[in-house]
């Protein structure tokens, strides 16, 4: 799911659908704090997941639709918790001592460092180069 999410985010959301996705990056539109046009994507993925689950309901073990629906739903739940609630602090700021979640938040912060449509790696949420999950190093910290 993460590879599909990366490709979709990089080439579609930061491509032809940038006008909608930009509301998620622009502080003037809430920057993850309120309802954004970008939230329409979540509604669409939820509908897709439900449709796939419905299509595969007769024989879930033999169906390819059912496991795809489950995968999209599980990814969506993880995305909502880590991205919306934790990384963007929707519904208030959240803290954790889980280092993997902290790395995801730092790497995602790098993705939001500019309002530019291009060159904003990482586009994935869970897979990113390890250095992107490290703390930002200030010049004065390096000198010490």
Which pLDDT score is estimated for 93? 77
Which pLDDT score is estimated for 135? 62
Other beta carbons less than 10 A from residue 21's beta carbon: 21
Write the Ramachandran bin of 89: left for phi over 0, alpha for psi from -120 to 50, otherwise beta.
Answer: left
| pLDDT (tens digit per residue) in 96-112 | 888 888 888 888 888 88
Average per-residue pLDDT for the chain? 84
Which pLDDT score is estimated for 80? 92
Residue 139, pLDDT above cutoff 70: no
Which pLDDT score is estimated for 33? 66
Residue 12, pLDDT above cutoff 90: yes
């Amino acid at each position: 799911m993460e590879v599909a999410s990366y490709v979709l985010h990089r080439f579609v959301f930061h491509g032809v659908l940038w006008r909608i996705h930009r509301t998620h990056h622009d502080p003037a539109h809430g920057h993850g704090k309120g309802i954004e046009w970008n939230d329409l994507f979540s509604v669409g993925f939820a509908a897709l997941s439900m449709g796939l689950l419905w299509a595969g309901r007769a024989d879930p073990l033999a169906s390819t639709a059912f496991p795809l629906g489950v995968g999209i739903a599980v990814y969506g739940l993880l995305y909502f918790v880590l991205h919306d609630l934790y990384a963007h602090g929707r519904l208030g700021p959240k803290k954790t001592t889980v280092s993997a979640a902290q790395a995801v938040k730092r790497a995602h912060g790098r993705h939001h460092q500019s309002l530019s449509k291009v060159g904003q790696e990482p586009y994935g949420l869970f897979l990113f180069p390890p250095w992107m999950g490290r703390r930002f190093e200030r010049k004065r910290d390096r000198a010490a």
